[in-house]
Structure 1
Amino acid sequence: MQLKPAFSLSRLLTVGEVAERSGLAVSALHFYEAKGLISSIRTRGNQRRYGRDVLRRLGIIKVAQRVGIPLAEIQTAFETLPQSRTPTVEDWQKLSALWKDDLDARIKQLSLLRDHLTGCIGCGCLSIDACPLRNPFDVLGRQGAGARLLDPDA
Protein backbone atom coordinates (compact mmCIF):
# COMPACT_ATOMS: atom_id res chain seq x y z
CA MET A 1 0.00 0.00 0.00
CA GLN A 2 1.42 3.41 -0.91
CA LEU A 3 1.82 6.01 1.81
CA LYS A 4 -0.44 8.92 0.96
CA PRO A 5 0.87 12.39 1.78
CA ALA A 6 -2.18 13.07 3.98
CA PHE A 7 -1.25 10.11 6.22
CA SER A 8 0.57 10.90 9.40
CA LEU A 9 2.71 8.08 10.72
CA SER A 10 1.66 9.07 14.23
CA ARG A 11 -1.95 8.07 13.41
CA LEU A 12 -0.89 4.60 12.29
CA LEU A 13 -0.48 1.62 14.63
CA THR A 14 2.66 -0.40 15.25
CA VAL A 15 2.52 -4.17 14.88
CA GLY A 16 2.67 -4.45 18.68
CA GLU A 17 -0.29 -2.11 19.11
CA VAL A 18 -2.32 -4.06 16.56
CA ALA A 19 -1.40 -7.34 18.26
CA GLU A 20 -2.44 -6.00 21.66
CA ARG A 21 -5.72 -4.49 20.45
CA SER A 22 -6.70 -7.49 18.30
CA GLY A 23 -5.59 -10.21 20.70
CA LEU A 24 -3.52 -11.83 17.95
CA ALA A 25 0.15 -12.75 18.01
CA VAL A 26 2.55 -10.63 15.97
CA SER A 27 3.38 -13.77 13.97
CA ALA A 28 -0.32 -14.11 13.05
CA LEU A 29 -0.34 -10.51 11.79
CA HIS A 30 2.73 -11.20 9.67
CA PHE A 31 1.07 -14.36 8.35
CA TYR A 32 -2.16 -12.53 7.44
CA GLU A 33 -0.14 -9.84 5.74
CA ALA A 34 1.86 -12.40 3.76
CA LYS A 35 -1.46 -13.94 2.64
CA GLY A 36 -2.74 -10.52 1.51
CA LEU A 37 -5.55 -10.34 4.08
CA ILE A 38 -4.18 -7.17 5.67
CA SER A 39 -1.60 -4.64 4.57
CA SER A 40 0.86 -2.27 6.14
CA ILE A 41 3.19 0.45 5.10
CA ARG A 42 6.85 0.61 6.03
CA THR A 43 8.62 3.44 7.77
CA ARG A 44 12.03 4.62 6.66
CA GLY A 45 13.40 2.26 9.29
CA ASN A 46 11.46 -0.63 7.63
CA GLN A 47 8.99 -1.00 10.51
CA ARG A 48 5.42 -1.98 9.78
CA ARG A 49 2.64 0.53 10.39
CA TYR A 50 -1.04 -0.29 10.06
CA GLY A 51 -4.08 1.86 9.44
CA ARG A 52 -6.81 1.58 12.03
CA ASP A 53 -9.03 -0.17 9.48
CA VAL A 54 -6.88 -3.27 9.97
CA LEU A 55 -8.56 -3.83 13.35
CA ARG A 56 -11.97 -4.24 11.67
CA ARG A 57 -10.47 -6.54 9.04
CA LEU A 58 -8.89 -8.66 11.76
CA GLY A 59 -12.24 -8.80 13.54
CA ILE A 60 -13.88 -10.09 10.37
CA ILE A 61 -11.12 -12.67 9.93
CA LYS A 62 -11.54 -13.92 13.50
CA VAL A 63 -15.33 -14.21 13.21
CA ALA A 64 -15.13 -15.91 9.82
CA GLN A 65 -12.52 -18.38 11.05
CA ARG A 66 -14.56 -19.13 14.16
CA VAL A 67 -17.46 -20.31 11.96
CA GLY A 68 -15.10 -22.35 9.80
CA ILE A 69 -14.56 -20.15 6.74
CA PRO A 70 -11.18 -21.05 5.20
CA LEU A 71 -8.62 -18.26 4.81
CA ALA A 72 -8.71 -18.63 1.03
CA GLU A 73 -12.44 -17.79 1.04
CA ILE A 74 -11.87 -14.88 3.41
CA GLN A 75 -9.18 -13.56 1.08
CA THR A 76 -11.48 -13.86 -1.94
CA ALA A 77 -14.21 -11.99 -0.07
CA PHE A 78 -11.75 -9.27 1.00
CA GLU A 79 -10.89 -8.67 -2.65
CA THR A 80 -14.39 -7.20 -3.00
CA LEU A 81 -13.64 -4.56 -0.36
CA PRO A 82 -11.80 -1.32 -1.01
CA GLN A 83 -8.37 -1.23 0.68
CA SER A 84 -8.64 2.46 1.43
CA ARG A 85 -11.29 2.38 4.17
CA THR A 86 -12.61 0.52 7.16
CA PRO A 87 -15.15 -2.19 6.26
CA THR A 88 -18.68 -1.04 7.09
CA VAL A 89 -21.78 -2.81 8.36
CA GLU A 90 -22.94 -3.02 4.74
CA ASP A 91 -19.62 -4.64 3.78
CA TRP A 92 -20.07 -7.20 6.55
CA GLN A 93 -23.61 -7.96 5.37
CA LYS A 94 -22.29 -8.65 1.86
CA LEU A 95 -19.49 -10.86 3.13
CA SER A 96 -21.71 -12.83 5.48
CA ALA A 97 -24.26 -13.34 2.70
CA LEU A 98 -21.50 -14.91 0.60
CA TRP A 99 -20.86 -17.46 3.35
CA LYS A 100 -24.45 -18.13 4.44
CA ASP A 101 -25.22 -21.00 2.03
CA ASP A 102 -21.98 -22.76 2.87
CA LEU A 103 -22.65 -22.39 6.58
CA ASP A 104 -26.20 -23.70 6.16
CA ALA A 105 -24.88 -26.77 4.31
CA ARG A 106 -22.28 -27.43 7.01
CA ILE A 107 -24.89 -27.01 9.76
CA LYS A 108 -27.08 -29.56 8.00
CA GLN A 109 -24.15 -31.97 7.65
CA LEU A 110 -23.14 -31.53 11.30
CA SER A 111 -26.73 -32.05 12.45
CA LEU A 112 -26.87 -35.27 10.42
CA LEU A 113 -23.57 -36.37 11.92
CA ARG A 114 -24.80 -35.59 15.44
CA ASP A 115 -28.08 -37.43 14.90
CA HIS A 116 -26.45 -40.55 13.45
CA LEU A 117 -23.40 -40.60 15.66
CA THR A 118 -25.16 -41.57 18.87
CA GLY A 119 -27.23 -44.21 17.12
CA CYS A 120 -24.21 -45.81 15.54
CA ILE A 121 -22.15 -45.92 18.72
CA GLY A 122 -25.24 -46.90 20.67
CA CYS A 123 -25.51 -50.24 18.86
CA GLY A 124 -22.31 -51.33 20.59
CA CYS A 125 -20.63 -53.09 17.69
CA LEU A 126 -18.34 -50.17 16.70
CA SER A 127 -17.71 -51.96 13.41
CA ILE A 128 -19.19 -50.76 10.15
CA ASP A 129 -18.65 -54.10 8.40
CA ALA A 130 -20.42 -56.06 11.16
CA CYS A 131 -23.23 -53.64 12.02
CA PRO A 132 -26.52 -55.35 11.17
CA LEU A 133 -28.50 -52.14 11.74
CA ARG A 134 -26.55 -49.55 9.74
CA ASN A 135 -24.59 -51.58 7.20
CA PRO A 136 -25.79 -55.15 6.76
CA PHE A 137 -23.36 -57.32 4.75
CA ASP A 138 -21.01 -54.31 4.40
CA VAL A 139 -23.06 -52.91 1.50
CA LEU A 140 -21.59 -49.46 2.06
CA GLY A 141 -18.03 -50.81 1.91
CA ARG A 142 -18.50 -51.61 -1.79
CA GLN A 143 -19.29 -47.92 -2.45
CA GLY A 144 -15.84 -46.79 -1.32
CA ALA A 145 -13.95 -45.71 1.74
CA GLY A 146 -15.27 -43.37 4.38
CA ALA A 147 -18.38 -42.78 6.42
CA ARG A 148 -21.08 -43.17 3.77
CA LEU A 149 -24.07 -42.60 6.02
CA LEU A 150 -22.60 -39.42 7.44
CA ASP A 151 -21.47 -37.98 4.11
CA PRO A 152 -24.28 -38.54 1.62
CA ASP A 153 -22.41 -36.67 -1.11
CA ALA A 154 -19.43 -39.04 -1.02
Structure 2
Amino acid sequence: MKLLDISELSKSTGIAASALRHYEEKGLITSIGRRGMKRLFAPDIIDQLALINLGKAGGFSLDEIKTMFGPDGRPALSRQKLHARVDELNRQIERLNALRDMIRHVAECPAPSHMECPKFQKLIKISSKRSLGNSPKAPAWSRSK
Protein backbone atom coordinates (compact mmCIF):
# COMPACT_ATOMS: atom_id res chain seq x y z
CA MET A 1 0.00 0.00 0.00
CA LYS A 2 1.68 3.16 -1.25
CA LEU A 3 0.89 6.18 0.87
CA LEU A 4 0.26 9.46 -0.90
CA ASP A 5 1.69 12.69 0.39
CA ILE A 6 -0.49 15.75 0.12
CA SER A 7 1.18 17.02 -3.06
CA GLU A 8 0.77 13.63 -4.79
CA LEU A 9 -2.86 13.49 -3.67
CA SER A 10 -3.45 17.00 -4.92
CA LYS A 11 -1.88 16.20 -8.27
CA SER A 12 -3.80 12.94 -8.74
CA THR A 13 -7.19 14.38 -7.76
CA GLY A 14 -6.92 17.96 -9.00
CA ILE A 15 -7.90 19.19 -5.53
CA ALA A 16 -5.71 21.97 -4.19
CA ALA A 17 -3.54 21.08 -1.19
CA SER A 18 -5.15 23.98 0.68
CA ALA A 19 -8.58 22.39 0.10
CA LEU A 20 -7.27 19.05 1.33
CA ARG A 21 -5.97 20.71 4.50
CA HIS A 22 -9.35 22.43 4.90
CA TYR A 23 -11.18 19.10 4.49
CA GLU A 24 -8.93 17.61 7.15
CA GLU A 25 -9.55 20.54 9.52
CA LYS A 26 -13.31 20.04 9.05
CA GLY A 27 -12.97 16.32 9.77
CA LEU A 28 -13.95 15.14 6.27
CA ILE A 29 -10.68 13.31 5.67
CA THR A 30 -7.88 12.08 7.89
CA SER A 31 -4.19 11.87 7.21
CA ILE A 32 -2.48 8.80 8.61
CA GLY A 33 0.92 10.31 9.28
CA ARG A 34 3.61 12.57 7.94
CA ARG A 35 6.68 12.33 5.76
CA GLY A 36 8.72 15.26 6.92
CA MET A 37 6.24 18.14 7.00
CA LYS A 38 3.88 16.62 4.41
CA ARG A 39 0.68 14.85 5.41
CA LEU A 40 0.32 11.25 4.24
CA PHE A 41 -2.92 9.63 3.11
CA ALA A 42 -3.99 6.06 2.39
CA PRO A 43 -4.83 5.35 -1.26
CA ASP A 44 -8.54 4.85 -0.50
CA ILE A 45 -8.76 8.58 0.29
CA ILE A 46 -9.18 9.13 -3.46
CA ASP A 47 -12.62 7.46 -3.39
CA GLN A 48 -13.57 9.47 -0.32
CA LEU A 49 -12.58 12.69 -2.10
CA ALA A 50 -14.61 11.65 -5.14
CA LEU A 51 -17.65 11.26 -2.86
CA ILE A 52 -16.98 14.68 -1.32
CA ASN A 53 -16.84 16.22 -4.80
CA LEU A 54 -20.06 14.43 -5.74
CA GLY A 55 -21.74 15.77 -2.61
CA LYS A 56 -20.55 19.30 -3.37
CA ALA A 57 -21.82 19.00 -6.95
CA GLY A 58 -25.15 17.87 -5.52
CA GLY A 59 -25.37 21.03 -3.47
CA PHE A 60 -24.53 19.62 -0.07
CA SER A 61 -22.47 21.78 2.29
CA LEU A 62 -19.23 20.40 3.70
CA ASP A 63 -20.91 20.07 7.10
CA GLU A 64 -23.71 18.03 5.50
CA ILE A 65 -21.18 15.90 3.63
CA LYS A 66 -19.31 15.24 6.87
CA THR A 67 -22.42 13.57 8.31
CA MET A 68 -22.50 11.24 5.31
CA PHE A 69 -19.37 9.41 6.43
CA GLY A 70 -19.11 6.97 9.29
CA PRO A 71 -16.30 7.10 11.86
CA ASP A 72 -14.20 4.85 9.62
CA GLY A 73 -14.49 7.28 6.69
CA ARG A 74 -16.80 4.99 4.75
CA PRO A 75 -20.05 6.33 3.31
CA ALA A 76 -23.02 6.16 5.66
CA LEU A 77 -25.57 7.94 3.48
CA SER A 78 -28.92 8.99 4.88
CA ARG A 79 -31.56 8.13 2.32
CA GLN A 80 -33.86 10.68 3.93
CA LYS A 81 -31.31 13.46 3.37
CA LEU A 82 -30.73 12.28 -0.18
CA HIS A 83 -34.47 12.34 -0.92
CA ALA A 84 -34.74 15.83 0.58
CA ARG A 85 -31.89 17.02 -1.63
CA VAL A 86 -33.54 15.47 -4.70
CA ASP A 87 -36.71 17.41 -3.84
CA GLU A 88 -34.71 20.64 -3.54
CA LEU A 89 -32.94 19.97 -6.83
CA ASN A 90 -36.32 19.44 -8.49
CA ARG A 91 -37.50 22.81 -7.14
CA GLN A 92 -34.32 24.46 -8.44
CA ILE A 93 -34.80 22.85 -11.84
CA GLU A 94 -38.39 24.10 -11.94
CA ARG A 95 -37.25 27.65 -11.12
CA LEU A 96 -34.42 27.52 -13.65
CA ASN A 97 -36.71 26.16 -16.38
CA ALA A 98 -39.18 28.97 -15.68
CA LEU A 99 -36.39 31.54 -15.77
CA ARG A 100 -35.07 30.09 -19.04
CA ASP A 101 -38.54 30.29 -20.59
CA MET A 102 -38.97 33.88 -19.45
CA ILE A 103 -35.60 34.96 -20.79
CA ARG A 104 -36.40 33.25 -24.07
CA HIS A 105 -39.72 35.10 -24.22
CA VAL A 106 -38.07 38.45 -23.51
CA ALA A 107 -35.43 37.76 -26.18
CA GLU A 108 -38.12 36.96 -28.75
CA CYS A 109 -40.84 39.37 -27.56
CA PRO A 110 -42.38 41.44 -30.38
CA ALA A 111 -42.88 44.46 -28.09
CA PRO A 112 -40.91 47.54 -29.23
CA SER A 113 -38.90 47.51 -25.98
CA HIS A 114 -38.59 45.11 -23.08
CA MET A 115 -40.20 47.61 -20.75
CA GLU A 116 -43.35 47.52 -22.90
CA CYS A 117 -43.63 43.73 -22.66
CA PRO A 118 -46.35 42.74 -20.15
CA LYS A 119 -44.55 39.50 -19.25
CA PHE A 120 -41.30 41.39 -18.65
CA GLN A 121 -43.15 43.85 -16.39
CA LYS A 122 -44.60 40.90 -14.51
CA LEU A 123 -41.10 39.41 -14.17
CA ILE A 124 -39.76 42.63 -12.69
CA LYS A 125 -42.59 42.81 -10.13
CA ILE A 126 -42.22 39.17 -9.14
CA SER A 127 -38.44 39.47 -8.96
CA SER A 128 -38.61 42.44 -6.63
CA LYS A 129 -41.13 40.66 -4.39
CA ARG A 130 -39.00 37.51 -4.34
CA SER A 131 -35.84 39.37 -3.42
CA LEU A 132 -37.67 41.10 -0.59
CA GLY A 133 -39.64 38.07 0.61
CA ASN A 134 -37.36 35.23 -0.55
CA SER A 135 -40.32 33.22 -1.80
CA PRO A 136 -39.30 29.64 -2.70
CA LYS A 137 -42.28 29.15 -5.02
CA ALA A 138 -41.97 28.97 -8.79
CA PRO A 139 -42.58 32.35 -10.41
CA ALA A 140 -46.20 33.03 -11.37
CA TRP A 141 -45.18 34.07 -14.88
CA SER A 142 -43.87 30.55 -15.48
CA ARG A 143 -47.41 29.24 -15.21
CA SER A 144 -48.85 31.66 -17.79
CA LYS A 145 -47.01 31.17 -21.04
When normalised by structure 2's length, the TM-score is: 0.66
- Counterpart for residue 64 of structure 1: 55
Task: Tell me which residue corresponds to 1:7.
Answer: none
**One-letter amino acid matched to 2:48:** R
1:42–1:49 Cα contact (<8 Å) kept: yes
Contact 1:53 1:86 in 2 (8 A): no
Q: What residue number does 1:31 align with?
A: 22
Q: 1:81 maps to what in 2? A: 69
In structure 1, C-alpha distance between the alignment counterparts of 2:94 and 2:124, rounded to whole Å: 25
Q: Please report how far the alpha carbon of residue 118 of structure 1 lies from its aligned counterpart in structure 2 after TM superposition.
A: 0.4
Q: Closer, same or farther in 2 for the Cα pair 1:58/1:97, shift >3 Å?
A: farther
1:106 aligns with 2:92: yes
Q: 1:11 to 1:93 in 2, by over 3 A?
A: farther
CA contact (8 A) 2:95 2:138 kept: no
Q: 2:104 aligns with which of 115, 118, 121?
A: 118
Partner letter of residue 102 of structure 2? H
TM normalised by structure 1 equals 0.63
Residues 88-110 of structure 1, C-alpha deviation per residue, up to 9 Å, x if partnerless? xxx46846445212211111111
Mark the CA change 1:98 to 1:33 in structure 2 (over 3 Å): closer, same or farther: farther
In structure 2, do the counterparts of structure 1 residues 40 and 14 end up closer, same or farther at CA, with 3 Å as the change threshold?
Answer: same
Give the partner amino acid of 1:122. Answer: E
**Counterpart pick for 2:125 among 119, 129, 140:** 140
RMSD (Å), alpha carbons: 3.7
C-alpha change, 1:97 and 1:133, in structure 2 (3 Å) is closer
Q: Work out whether residues 98 and 138 of structure 2, in 8 Å CA contact, stay in contact via their aligned partners in 1.
A: no
Cα separation, partners in 2 of 1:78 and 1:18, compared to 1, 3 Å = same
Once the two structures are TM-superposed, the CA of residue 119 in structure 1 deviates from its matched residue by 0.6
Partner Cα distance (1:53, 1:96) in 2: 23
1:24 partner letter: I
1:83-141 alpha-carbon deviations (Å, 9 max, x no partner): 31443xxx4684644521221111111111112210123226233xx4334426x9827
Residues 10 and 16 in structure 2, CA contact (< 8 A), matched pair in contact too: yes
Deviation at 1:16, TM superposition (A): 1.9
Which blocks of at least 5 consecutive residues in structure 1 are unaligned?
1-9
Aligned partner of residue 40 in structure 2, secondary structure: strand
